Amino acid sequence: MWSDDDSTEFINWRKDKRVTLPNLQPSSQTISLWLPKPMLERLKLLANKEDVPYQLLLKSFVAERLKAELAEKSCKRRPERVRRNSSVGCAP
């Protein structure tokens, strides 16, 4: 059985190095989202013009809006002097 074998015969664990795998995709979760039919049809038309799957287009719309909302909320919490030099793009 594999669990009875000792890997130290093959691998020197003291010389191991931590590696990062930058191209791994984050975990995804399937959700149900009810959209009005006309909205879904417009989304599909736009996705077709952009030559991307409509789910990917919708995901990018949500990601962009989340980024904007979080940046806006971050600006509202910061003092004025910090906002001017911010890399988030806060308006003075």
pLDDT at residue 61, as a whole number: 97
pLDDT digits (tens, 9 = 90+) for 43-88: 999 999 999 999 999 999 999 999 999 988 888 776 555 444 444 4
Whether 64 and 74 have beta carbons less than 8 Å apart is answered as no
For the chain, the domains span: 54-85
Grouping H, G, I as helix, E, B as strand and the rest as coil, residue 15 is: helix
Whether 90 and 78 have beta carbons less than 8 Å apart is answered as yes
Q: Which residues of 30-48 are buried (b: 16+ CB within 10 A; e: fewer)?
A: eeeeeeeeeeeeebeeebe
Residue type, 85: N
Query: Mean of the per-residue pLDDT values for the chain?
Result: 82
Task: Provide the whole-model pTM.
Answer: 0.56
pLDDT at residue 75, as a whole number: 82
